[in-house]
Structure 1
Amino acid sequence: MDTRDLARIDLNLLIALQVLLEEGSVSRAAERLYITQPAMSKTLTRLRSLFNDPLFTRSSHGMQPTPRAQELARSLSDILGNIRQLVAGEKFDPASVNTEITIALSEYIGVTLLPTLAERLQRQAPRLRLRIVTRVENQLEQLALGNLDFALHINQSHYGPAYRLLPLGGSPPAILVRENHPLCNSAFGIEDLADYPCIRLYVSDREHAEERSVLEIVDRMSHPGQGALEISHLMTAIEVLRSTNYYMFGPSYLTQNEKLSQGITALPLPTDEQYSVEYSLVAHQRTENSPLHNWLWEQISDTIRDLRPAPPRKLRQRVPATR
């Protein structure tokens, strides 16, 4: 290997470029690198000379990377990660982890996954801090920006090559009501739902969901002037269901949780079409070389695999409504 060209390069410039790409601001990059803003500006000048490109241009929205900078961004994170791993040379030890990981997932996923996952992580990484967020839009963007480490969500219609995906399987949507709800006593159609108020659970990034048809048919089953409760707190919604004539659209697998679903019945949608809502675990390629993130990916996927064997409770058979 001819190392003469490499010997003339200050590798600290690559670190500075990575920070500039992440922050999109000279002042914020200077703060992260603990240098002054004029020093950061001089570093940017050296980077422009090194790559013979402006790298960033100014706009009303701040610094925008040039095509050359975007090209560098696609490989720079991996290069720096490999150098860091090469220098560290230490085997990853979960027990020594003392950091925070942020995961986006809805409460109806969390109520099934988190108890088992938290128990597993408590044993292996007792100082790991999990931050769970249930309401966050633009999740792919937030993953790319580093505001999220993982997302577990309804499949989106498009994922770029920068994302790592693990399909988690699916569940048919159901109408959840209390036991002995009037809808349980006879066949019903879409129009009959107008007689009862509806609980609408929050769904992130609805406009990007792959199963738009499912969400759209659920929307069509709602009626103007119908009473409604919009909420992201599943446990509260279930308590409302138990004591009222509200109904709620939700994944049928919720009935697997006996404590949660006590007193709750899952009814099939009043349509002859069959639907399934599919879910995925997602991470951004920026974490591909992180031993912590790779280990957590395995812990999440193993937990989901262990939870999967029990099939969801069979929905009550639907008989077409007649009027």
Structure 2
Amino acid sequence: MIDRISRINLNLIVSLHLLLQELSVTKAAQRQYISQSAMSKNLAKLRELFHDPLLMKAGNELIPTNKALQLAPEVAKLVQTMEGLFSPQDFDPSECRKEFTIAATDYVSEYMLPKALAELYLMAPHICINVQNWDKQTYQLLKEGKVDLGTTIQDPNAKDIHASLINRDHFVCIMRHDHPLSGQAKLSLPDFAQYHHAVITVGTDKTTAIDRALAEHGVTRKVRLRVSSYPSAVNMVAQSDLLLTLPSHIAKRLSQDHPVTIKPLPVHIDEFDCTLQWHHRNHQDPAHRWFRTHLTQLIQQQELGPISRGS
């Protein structure tokens, strides 16, 4: 077995990992800093090594074979282990001069990051931090290394993304204090469907779970307002008859600044994880590990507990 392994070029394992991530010879070559022709030769060697095509053309795209899909998680673990072997173990935050980019919603930027970042600057005074909006391109930016961390609801379908749990939460409905439905102890499904709704368009796709649950009861929301800002959406709802569904810890915090009432939803929707997320490419980096670990802890220390479902 050792003799066989000794004849394998470990760079081929790295090439296989990148090819399975990118499903593109060109992009994989760029990430490994080799030419496209060199990556094509590596793919040919890998096909011979595993006795399988691994990636097959389908129009202008490459699709993985069943063998490749089986190999992908094991290859990712192997590359992670190799990265750990050659990564420096000592890290001094007081000497770190790295720049970190965080993608977050405006709610996170305004209410959760300021206190956490102030503490991080005390421990690592030379770091630079960029905060930008989370949008539908963020997962691609994480993959490309242009964003280091993102705070959002966990997407189980996101590939090569790691996550640390900030808190678990559930959805609630808010409305203005004197809304026609505000006097009801519980919202009925017909009433919920009767009124117009606002939706938040930033972060990962929150509307799918909500609308899927409603569809099971034959109900479709009448969306009349789409807003990319949490505080703006709540402010608009506080001055109209619109209903807004959002995570309970956000509703709890923003209700302190706006005249709104919080109600449980008339349908059950599973709890979800609010997380800090990063791409596998940064998983073993000592500076990144230090930054994300402390950022997670500092956010967790804040009051993020969800309100009771029965409130």
Which string of whole-angstrom CA distances, capped at 9 and with x for unpartnered residues, describes residues 2-48 of structure 1?
A: 74333322222222222222222222333333433333322222222
| Identical pairs, percent | 22
SS in 2 for 1:261: coil
Q: TM-score, normalised by structure 2?
A: 0.71
> Are 1:230 and 2:229 an aligned pair?
no
Which string of whole-angstrom CA distances, capped at 9 and with x for unpartnered residues, describes residues 193-213 of structure 1?
A: 789754222374347638953
Which string of whole-angstrom CA distances, capped at 9 and with x for unpartnered residues, describes residues 250-273 of structure 1?
A: 344335437x732422242585x7
Tell me the residue number matched to 1:135: 135
> Are 1:268 and 2:259 an aligned pair?
no
Which string of whole-angstrom CA distances, capped at 9 and with x for unpartnered residues, describes residues 130-164 of structure 1?
A: 5544333896x997887876565456688999865
Tell me the residue number matched to 1:19: 18
Q: TM-score, normalised by structure 1?
A: 0.69
Question: Over aligned residue pairs, what C-alpha RMSD do you find?
Answer: 4.5
Q: Distance in 2 between matches of 1:216 and 1:31?
A: 44
Q: Give the C-alpha shift of residue 168 in structure 1.
A: 1.5
Give yes or no for contact 2:171–2:269 (8 Å, CA) kept in 1.
Answer: yes
Counterparts in 2 of 1:240 and 1:172: CA distance versus 1, 3 Å: closer
> Are 1:98 and 2:98 an aligned pair?
yes
Q: Distance in 1 between matches of 2:113 and 2:128?
A: 14
Which string of whole-angstrom CA distances, capped at 9 and with x for unpartnered residues, describes residues 221-251 of structure 1?
A: 845xxx8221121222233245445443334
Larger Rg: 1
Counterparts in 2 of 1:220 and 1:281: CA distance versus 1, 3 Å: same
Q: Give the C-alpha shift of residue 302 in structure 1.
A: 1.8
> Are 1:7 and 2:6 an aligned pair?
yes
Q: Distance in 2 between matches of 1:145 and 1:307?
A: 31
Please point out which of 247, 268, 274 is paired with 1:280: 274
Structure 2 residues not aligned, in runs of 5+: none
> Are 1:63 and 2:59 an aligned pair?
no
Q: Give the C-alpha shift of residue 173 in structure 1.
A: 0.7
Amino acid at match of 1:183: P
Amino acid at match of 2:48: S
SS in 1 for 2:272: strand
SS in 2 for 1:307: coil
Q: How many residues align?
A: 305
Give yes or no for contact 1:102–1:148 (8 Å, CA) kept in 2.
Answer: yes
Counterparts in 2 of 1:218 and 1:308: CA distance versus 1, 3 Å: farther
Counterparts in 2 of 1:218 and 1:206: CA distance versus 1, 3 Å: farther
Q: Distance in 2 between matches of 1:316 and 1:77?
A: 43
Counterparts in 2 of 1:167 and 1:212: CA distance versus 1, 3 Å: farther
Q: Distance in 1 between matches of 2:167 and 2:102?
A: 19
Q: Distance in 1 between matches of 2:4 and 2:194?
A: 76
Tell me the residue number matched to 2:36: 37
Q: Distance in 1 between matches of 2:165 and 2:243?
A: 32
Q: Distance in 2 between matches of 1:241 and 1:208?
A: 21
Q: Distance in 1 between matches of 2:217 and 2:231?
A: 21
Tell me the residue number matched to 1:115: 114
Q: Distance in 2 between matches of 1:157 and 1:211?
A: 18
SS in 2 for 1:183: coil
SS in 1 for 2:136: coil
